[in-house]
Structures are given as C-alpha cells and as structure tokens.
Chains A and B, each alone.
Chain A
C-alpha cells in the first residue's frame, strides 16, 4: 500500500517518506488542485478540473461532491466529484490500490462498516443526500445493490441465497404461520429464483440443484450467484466490483451482455481492470490514478481514443498500472 505515496517517480517506499508526504498532502488538499503523487512509471502532471467535468443530458442518478475518504491517516480518496447518469453503465478503471473499491463502497455507504474509515463529502441519490444522518440504510441498500470483488455467497442453499433478501424484507413469506394460513409464497419464490438466475446466466447450470449448498459452486458460478442475489432485491443502482475477475471468457461475455441489458433499466457502476471490457460495455468511464484521485471522467470513447491527461493515456496504453 505504500507505493501510491511518494514524492518522486522513483518507487521509494520507506515509512518516513510516507509519513511526511501524507502530512503535506493533507495540507495540500484544501489548496489548489495539485498533485505530485505518482507510481513508478507515471509522469508528473497537474490535474485540471475540466477533465472530470462530464456533461450529459439525462438526469443524474448519483451525484458525488467533494468526496474524501481517510483510512486512519491514509487519505484514500481525494476530492472526488462526479455525476453518474441514469440507466447507463459507468466504468471505473485505474491501477490497483487507487481507491476504486473505496469509491464504490461510498455510494451505498458500505464504508460505514469499516471502523477506520472516515468519509467527508456528499453523495446524492436522485437528489437525496445519502450521508444525511437520518438516512434509512436498509432502504438505501435495497435501492443500491452491490456485487463484491470476491464472491461471497451465504453458506445456504442456492435457492435460499437468492430469496434471502426478499424474504428478509418480507416480500416472500414461507414461515410456518404463512403455510398454515395458506399464504405460502413458494410459487412466488420459485419464480423469483428462476428469473434472477436466468438474468445472471446461471439458471441452466444449477436448475436441477437449487437445494444444494452454494459453497459447492465453482468460483465463477458463485460470482454469478451473487449477481443474481443482488438482482433479486430489484435495486435501482447496481455497484459491481470486478464481477468478472474470477470468470472464464464465456461466462465473462455472459456477464458483459448482462450488464449491457441491465443498463436499460438500471444504473450500473462497474469497476474493472480489463480495458477492453470497459471499452465494450460502458457508456462513460472514470479513471482513478494512484493516490485516490479522479483524473479523468468522460464518454468512454473519448477516454479510450483521445484522453486529455498524459497519465491516463499512459495507463490505458499499458505503460504502467
């Protein structure tokens, strides 16, 4: 985690230099937009505001304003502002450790669950501030679903994994009382399970073993199960943290098709390390670079064909990262 903080482009990672530079940066964040943080291979340059000033016609689903995140003393995300349009796919790319996951977690307040994290700034969903102290987290996370970087199915059956969310939200009743009073929602559950699994391109592989434990699935199947589980709650926004990193090319292309389809009804924000994937599926792309800064945010075509920032160009063409 040390390599994102350093005064020069040589990869010095002693603790002493880390500490001093952190201090100086803390001071710098309030001042002008300057940056001196680079990784090995990155060239130095100043970030300009207009690089991240992306304009679009449709209404913004999420708008992030001056978001800062600290893990203890570690300033992981610096002054990020960006607006995410409705019913589109937004890709987040950047080198490892630059804060993509951190940023994603801020959007549904999953960072609240990390004790060391301190968040400052504003995130609005449909114009409502989600960092309001009175926010209903349950409702928020129902609306903004998330798929994690590593698959994390519950140690339950496949069916129970999918129906977990709706059942806990009271959408599906399968308890003893419900059965006794004839309000058993088994049918509804079966439909939901099938629909979600089909959406996540998993149905054909597991339809005959829905009662098996989900931990017995392969890594890629588990990830698709997690996507299905997220879809079962019917969110408005779906945050995906490298959902295809554990998948083979065929499953990956299924997920990509799925993401493209989802964009018709949902707003998808997806982190990926795969440039081609970002170029293929996303409508707009945000590039984070080392140090937790949003360097450039624009139409995907623009980012990949004609980026403003030299560092972004270097990153995209594979000079570092």
Chain B
C-alpha cells in the first residue's frame, strides 16, 4: 500500500490507550466464549443453566483464571518472571474483566447460558464494528492495508452465501422457487457477492471487522432470540439423524469466537502486517487447542469408562512403589541439580521449577515411607457398575497401597536395570587415575577369562541339559562354582572398602589413590556375579549354605558396600578443593552407584533364574510373587466366576503380536530400504517398487486379513495362530518401514558417504556405521507410527487369530520353544496356537453382548490405549536416544 517505506510508526509503542484495552478485552471475551463453547460441547455445563447455577459456573472459571493470572502476576511483580508485553498483560486483565462481567450478568439477567452466549456474541460484534469504524474515521491511529485481501474475501463470501441461503430458505411465506431458480440459491448468491464486496473493496480496517461482525452478530442473534434454542431440533428429510440445539449452539459459539478473536486481534495490532500476524496467531492457536482438547477428550472418555474395572482390586506394597519410584527420583534429582542460570536471570523461578518435580516425587516417597512405618494401608474405595443379567450391579472395590515389604523380582530387575544404565551412561572413566597396584593387573586379565569360562560352561549346559543321563552334573558343578564365585565377588567388592578405611592420608586422598581398586573391584564384581547367575540358571542349581543362599546374600552385601563407597566418595568429594580430585571422586560416586544398582538388579535376576521363590531378609523380600495385585492386568478370565476376572492373556497376546511383527518387518524393511536407496540403480525399477510400496501401505487392513486367512493359515498348521497374526501384521507394517526408512536414508547427507569413501571404507561398512546410525531417528519414527497402527488393528486379527473374549491362560511364547533333533530343530507350539488380543477382545465383547461384559470391553479398550501408548513411549525414548547420539547437545 505504501510508497516506499514509511517510518512514521514508532518502533516501540509501549504506551497503550483505551482502544488497546478495549480490544484486549474483546480478545479475552472471545477466548472465554471459546472455552465455554468447548465446555458446553463436552456437556460440562448445561446450556439451559440459569441463575445460581450459571453464577457458580462462571465463578469457578473466574477462580481458576484469577488463580493463574494471580500467580503469574505475583511472579511478574516480584521480577522473578517479568511479563513485560503489553498485549499479554492486557489479555490477562481482559480475561478477568470479562469473567467478572459474565458472572455479574448471570446474576443480574434471568437468562439461560445459551441466550447469554448469544448476547455475548452480539456484544463482540458491536465491539468489532466500533473498532473498525473508529479506525476508519481516524479516531485511533492504525496502519491498515488497502484491502483485507482476496483470501479473506473468498472465505467471508462463502460464509455469507451459506448464511444468506439459510436465511432466505427459512423465511416463512416466501415462495420456494422463482422462474425455475430456487430462491435460497439466489439469496445465497446475493449475500455471497455482498460479503465479497464488503470484504475486499473497503480499506482493511472495515473489510476485516464488519463482515465477521455481521456473521458473528447473526449467529449470536439466532441463539439469543432462541430461533435456535436449547430445545431446537431439525430433522432433514433425507437424513436419518437430526441436529439439536444442544450440539448446534456450541458449534456456533466456537466458530463465532474463533472469528471474533481473529478480527479483534487484527484490530489490536493495528491491522497491516502486524495485524495479520497477530490474528493468525489466535486462529492457529485456538484451533490447535481445540484439536488437542478433542484428542484428550477421547482418551479421557475411554479412561473414565474403563478405569473402574481396570483397577479393580488393585493393591501394591509400599516398598514396591518405592522401587518403581527410584528411577524417577534419580531423574528429578538430576533435573534439580541442573544449573539454573545466572543470578540476574530469574534464577529463583527456574530453581523453583527445577526443584518442583523432585519435591513432588520426594513427598510421594515420604508418604510411602509413612505407610511402611505406621503399618496402615492407604485406600481409595470406589464403586463401578457392571451388567449382570441385563441389570446394573454396583461393585465395591478399592485402590490400595499396603505396607507390605515384598517386592516382585520383575520390578527389581526393571528398576535396577534402568538405574544401572543411567549411572553407567553418566560414568566417564577412571583410566590412568590413582595407583596401579601390581596385583591388580592379573585380576584384570583373569576376570574376563573366568567370565568367558562360566559363559562357555553355561552354553554347554544349555546344550546337554543340566542332568545328562540322570546324573546331576549341573547342580553339583553349579553349587561349587557359584559359591566360589560369590566368595570371589565379595572379596572383590570388599577390597576397595578396606583400602578406603585403612591406609594413610585424608579420606579424599585415599579415595583418589584407590580409584583403580574401585574400578576393577566393582565392575568385575558385577560382571562375575552376573555370569554366576547365568550359570545357576542353565545348570539349574541353587546353592544353599545352611540357611543362606550365597549368591543373593553376596549381591545384597555388595550393593550395601557399594552404597557405602558412594557415600564415602561423596563425603570426600565435599572436602576437597582440588579440581582434578573433585572430578575423580565424582566419577567414583557414579561408579559406586552404578555398581549398587547392578547388584540390586542381580538379586532380582537370581530369584528369576533359580527355583527359589523369594530371597528374604527379615520382612523385606524379593519374591516371584511380590505385593502387587492387579487382577485385571495380571489374571486371566475366571470362568463362571462371580468376581470379575482379568484380561492378562489379551495383553500378552497383543504384546507378542507387536513384538513378532516388528521383529519380522523392521529388519526386512530396513534391509529393503537400504538396498533400494544405496545399491539399486535409481530409475524405473526403484520407482515401480516405490509406487508398489505406497499402494501396499494404503491397502485396507481387511485385505491383509484375507490374505493371511487364505494363504498363510493353510501353510501354518491350518488353524488360527499367533504366528499367522504376527506375519499378517508384519506385512502391513513392512511398507511403512520401507517408506520411512528410505526417506530417512535418502536424507543422510552425501558428504558423510563421500567422507567415508575417501577414507577407504567400503560401501557396506559405510552404510552400517555412518548411514544407518544417522538415519536411525527417522527409521524409529516410522516404526513408532507403524506399531501404533498395527497394535490396535482388529479386522485382520479377527480373520487370522479369532476373537477370543474370555481367555483364561496367556500364551507362553518363551516357554513354547523346544529343541528337536530333526529339522527345523526348533519348534514353538505356542506360536501355532490362537491367542486372545486386546482389539479382538474389545470387538468380541461389544458384538457378543454377554452380560456383565460391556464394562470389561471398556476396560480392555483402556488397556489397549495404555499398551499402545507404552509402545509409543518406548519408541520416543529410542528416538531421543538416537537423536542425541547424532546431534550435539
């Protein structure tokens, strides 16, 4: 619009005026109506609400907003997180003003929420017109373009046409058709053209305020005058359903407020380029907010329906929860320790938010400790409904945390492994630090050899079985070696402690000098004990010395010693100023913590590997059956039982299907992608393959199901089977893996390949060690998407796996493997059997309609969501890991 660049505008215009304030209130009002529209859409409040009910509703909203704004305002006032933007301040204030206004209006006016929303929209429309006119006639200084633009013109034209057609068509007493042309079409055309002209021809300040104001005003008026009221209904002739006021009004409100926020934002930012930017900001953000809200609503809906059954009779020991909490605790500690910026730079607030998660996890842990100490369980009793013989029955149940000190070995293994990996990754190295004792180097060399021997021996036992020919070689050898191994480990771990406690010099000096002892002792200890446990497992031996089992006892002892070592090193670290020593001692702390986590994990592994059911020290025990009781997830269905059973078999089935399909599809797909991208001549052939892959990806899943049923099943034992399901879904997953891997490999810069080739590295090695690692995040993204799709896939599974709904036993894939003497040498009965799976179970339950099972269906759906989201989480963690590896962070 301008001739050249006019610089008459101020660069910084912090001064605000009445106009700005008014527009901020307008924006805030739009946001408020938008949110209220969403709430009414989800039936959070009735559209017919009046009087006190309405006042309370707005009061609650006001409270929430005032709380949020208040906290931020306090932070801002105390200069912790200064909010300096006039617009943000204005909108925040506007939110308060508009909510107070709405609450007062609700108290003063005897109208329903629907009418009130309509009135608010009319007010918004008036405000927009006033702002547009004010700008046009020069009461406020703005910077509008010549026109609102063609795009806005088309959009408002279409909207106007729709409104015009509806108005004309619904006017009573108007003839339907004039001269063969339906009148509504004429009306629509007229309105449409009018709106286009109104938008495009005047200056931007009129063009982008008056048309939206008209639309908002008309929508508001229809609601306010109850033309479309709460009880309104419309059933079109050629549509079996109908529209009700309850669903149309929220849509009008949402749409109107979206429009008015856009227009008001444009006004607020003085039109022109800044206005367009600010307007777009609101439309995009509110839209995104709506989408997120819809997705969240779906999840919440399923969760609310299914959570009752899913957590039926859930109870867990406090110690088990603490074990689960341990990795979280470590993560939050790490977060809290991160430096919180410089002193001037709002460090207080950052510190606060850094520490917040730790405080939360910490207080939770304290609560659990409280439960253990006082011995009183924590209970949340609740009820949920199931259908028995077509009548609703309420079941009483509760969510419990008991003071039990038993922990399941699986929990110990998972938590321990997580901690072990975490500390190991943080551990750098202690190479060339401290004294290299002469007696250490034989240990360094002997330990790997011994471990190798133990592993070899284990392999032998796997081959010949623990008791070939009835002679119990395994248990005997195991007894001797395991006991011996445990004693050696104890010695290895105690050596650094001994060296630390005796000897000359200060604690820090001793700790520094003995770094090698610590390094060798702890690492060898963990590795050796692990080998011993592997031997115990394969040789089926579980040595007992009197009442003591040497292996777990040593593991516990070693864990405690490691913690002591960590504590000593940490103390020594505090007392030293020397930077090098400080660093070395830090490494020692990490190393000792790594070892502690490792030894704890080994206790769990020992229990898992041997026939022992529990390793107990006093009341604390690590057991196969810990204190977690979660019938829905850990049990099968109970046939004809009164108490509701569980869906464990379906969960296991789904997990195995996903694992099997991924194991099959990912290597194959990645391989195909590598071939197509790196080896095949780019041209016709790769194009054809690419097209075919894309087509395969869009093939409906039921087609894959038919293929599985008609082709795979006859070749895999002629019955519904897990293997057929895995293969069918693998075929579905394959194209996506190929497509995404191909894209990822293509996007690896050629420079890497050149660099590698120039170093004389051959192509395959280059692909393996440079191209694939760099492409890995993309590959993982593809796998995540694909797994998300197949995990919930139902139609093909019904055909190849059946739809078992009351499975009592889970399929045992790992235990199903058996070695045979004739080809194929390894068989797995379990894979050739049918199994339950979550999606087919949902489908089966819903279609079967057996009494009592709708709530089971919801619980199954809920668990399906949880399983899919867990796979998702694993995928995202993997992707983050690979990304971190190739990015510099």
Whether A154 and B757, one on each chain, are in contact in the complex, defined by CB atoms closer than 8 angstroms, is no
Task: Report chain A residues within 8 Å CB of B749.
Answer: 152
Taking a contact as CB atoms under 8 Å apart, the answer to whether A165 and B452 are in contact is no
A-B contact pairs, 27 of them (CB 8 A): A110-B757, A138-B760, A139-B760, A141-B758, A142-B760, A153-B755, A154-B756, A154-B770, A155-B774, A155-B885, A155-B887, A164-B759, A165-B761, A169-B761, A180-B452, A181-B448, A182-B445, A212-B888, A213-B888, A213-B889, A215-B887, A215-B888, A226-B755, A229-B755, A230-B758, A230-B759, A233-B760
Report the minimum CB–CB distance from B769 to chain A (whole Å): 7
The answer to whether B769 touches A164, judged by C-beta atoms less than 8 angstroms apart, is: yes
Shortest CB-to-CB span from B262 to chain A, Å, is 41
List residues of A (135-188) whose CB comes within 8 Å of B's CBs.
137-143, 145-146, 148, 150, 152-156, 164-165, 168-169, 179-182, 186
A161 closest partner in B (C-beta): B755
Contact of B759 among A113, A139, A213, A229 (CB under 8 A): A229
A-side contacts of B759, CB under 8 Å = 141-142, 145, 164-165, 168, 229-230, 233
Assess A108 versus B445: contact at CB under 8 Å? Given A212-B888, A215-B887, A216-B888: no
Q: Give 8 nearest A-B pairs by CB, closest first.
A: A216-B888, A213-B888, A142-B760, A141-B760, A152-B751, A155-B886, A165-B759, A146-B758
* Smallest CB separation, B358 vs chain A (Å): 28
The answer, yes or no, to whether B687 is at the interface (CB within 8 Å) is no
In this complex, what residue of A is CB-closest to B758? A146
In the bound assembly, the distance between CA atoms of A180 and B448 in angstroms comes to 5
In the complex, the answer to whether B886 meets A213 with C-beta atoms within 8 Å is yes
User: Is B451 positioned at the interface, with any CB of A under 8 Å from its CB?
Assistant: yes
Residues in B neighbouring A150, C-beta threshold 8 A: 751
Q: Which A residue's beta carbon lies closest to that of B768?
A: A168
Task: Check B752 for interface membership: any CB of A closer than 8 A.
Answer: yes
Complexed CA–CA distance, A146 and B759 (Å): 8
Residue B765 CB within 8 A of the other chain: yes
Contact residues on B (Cβ < 8 Å of other chain), bracket = 20 to 34
Question: By the criterion CB–CB under 8 Å, are A140 and B760 in contact?
Answer: yes
Question: In the bound complex, how far is the Cα of B753 from the Cα of A141, in angstroms?
Answer: 13
From 191 to 230 in chain A, residues with beta carbon under 8 angstroms from any chain B beta carbon are 211-216, 226, 229-230
Please give, as numbers and ranges, the residues of chain B lying within 8 Å of A137 by CB-CB distance.
760, 762
Question: Mask for A252-294, Cβ within 8 A of B = 1, else 0?
Answer: 0000000000000000000000000000000000000000000
Residues of B near A230 (CB, < 8 A) are: 758-759
A-contacting residues, B751-807, CB 8 Å? 751-762, 765, 769-770, 773-774
Report how far A141 CA is from B770 CA in the complex, Å.
Answer: 18
CB neighbours (8 Å) of A214 from chain B are: 888
Q: In the complex, which of the residues B448, B756, B885 contacts A179, with contact meaning CB atoms closer than 8 Å?
A: B448
B286 to chain A, nearest CB (A): 38
Q: Which residue of A lies closest to B455 (CB)?
A: A180
Question: How many angstroms between the C-alpha atoms of A23 and B774 in the bound complex?
Answer: 43
B769:A152 contact, CB within 8 angstroms = no
Closest chain-A Cβ to B103's Cβ sits at a distance in Å of 54
- How long is the Cα–Cα vector from A259 to B759 in the complex, in angstroms? 19
Query: Complex: how many Å from CA A150 to CA B769?
Result: 21
Closest-CB distance, A190 to chain B (whole angstroms)? 8
Q: Complex: how many Å from CA A141 to CA B762?
A: 10
User: Are A148 and B755 neighbours in the complex by a CB distance under 8 Å?
Assistant: yes
Residues of A contacting B770 in the complex (Cβ-Cβ under 8 angstroms): 154
- Report A206 CB to chain B, min CB distance, Å: 13
Complexed CA–CA distance, A143 and B769 (Å): 21
Q: Bound state CA distance, A143 and B760, in angstroms?
A: 8
**Given contacts A164-B769, A180-B448, A113 and B757 within 8 Å (CB-CB):** yes
A186–B429 alpha-carbon span in the complex (Å): 12
Q: Which single member of A138, A154, A233 contacts B762 (CB below 8 Å)?
A: A138
In the bound assembly, the distance between CA atoms of A229 and B448 in angstroms comes to: 32
**Nearest Cβ in chain A — how far from B257, in angstroms?**
46
Residues of B within 8 A of A146 (CB): 758
Chain B residues with CB below 8 A from A148, complex form:
751, 754-755, 758
Q: Chain B: which residue is nearest A226 at the CB level?
A: B755
* Residues of A18-33 contacting chain B, CB below 8 A: none
State whether A154 and B755 are in contact (beta carbons under 8 Å apart), knowing that A164-B769, A180-B448, A215-B887 are contacts in the complex: yes
Q: How far, in Å, is A208 (CB) from chain B's closest CB?
A: 11
- In Å, the complex CA distance between A2 and B214 comes to 59
Query: Quick check: B451 and A180 within 8 Å, CB to CB?
Result: yes
A225 to B671, CA, bound (A): 32
Nearest chain-B residue to A180 (Cβ)? Answer: B448
CA distance A137 to B756 in the complex (A): 12
Set of chain B residues within 8 Å of A108, measured between Cβ atoms? 758
CA distance A183 to B759 in the complex (A): 24
Chain A residue contacts of B752, Cβ below 8 A: 152, 154-155
Within 8 A of A (CB), among B449-495: 451-452
The chain A residue with its CB closest to the CB of B753 is A113
Quick one: which of A70-94 are within 8 Å of B by CB? none
- Among residues of A, the one whose C-beta sits closest to the C-beta of B752 is A154
Cα A69 to Cα B730 in complex, Å, equals 48
**A152/B451 contact (C-beta < 8 A), A142-B760, A168-B765, A233-B759 known:** no
* CB proximity of A138 to chain B, nearest CB, Å: 5
Q: Report yes or no: A152 in contact with B887, Cβ–Cβ below 8 A.
A: no
Least CB distance from A177 to B in Å reads 10
C-alpha spacing A179/B527, complex, angstroms: 13
Distance A156 CA – B759 CA, assembled complex (angstroms): 16
Knowing A138-B760, A165-B760, the reply to whether A152 touches B448 (Cβ < 8 A) is no
Closest Cβ neighbor of A141 among chain B residues: B760
Q: How far is the CA of A140 from the CA of B762 in the complex (A)?
A: 11
- Alpha-carbon distance A180/B456, docked complex (angstroms): 13
Closest beta carbon of chain B to A179's beta carbon, Å:
7
Smallest distance from the beta carbon of B516 to chain A beta carbons, Å? 15
Residues of A within 8 A of B769 (CB): 164, 168
- Interface centre among A145, A168, A169, by most B CB within 10 Å? A168
Bound-state CA distance A110–B759 (Å) is 11
| CB-nearest residue of chain B to A168 | B761
Bound Cα distance from A156 to B773, whole angstroms: 9
A152 in contact with B754 given A140-B760, A168-B759, A168-B765 (CB within 8 Å) = yes
By a CB distance below 8 angstroms, the chain B residues around A213 are 886-889
Q: A108 CA to B758 CA in the complex, in Å?
A: 8
The smallest beta-carbon distance between B438 and chain A, in angstroms, is 17
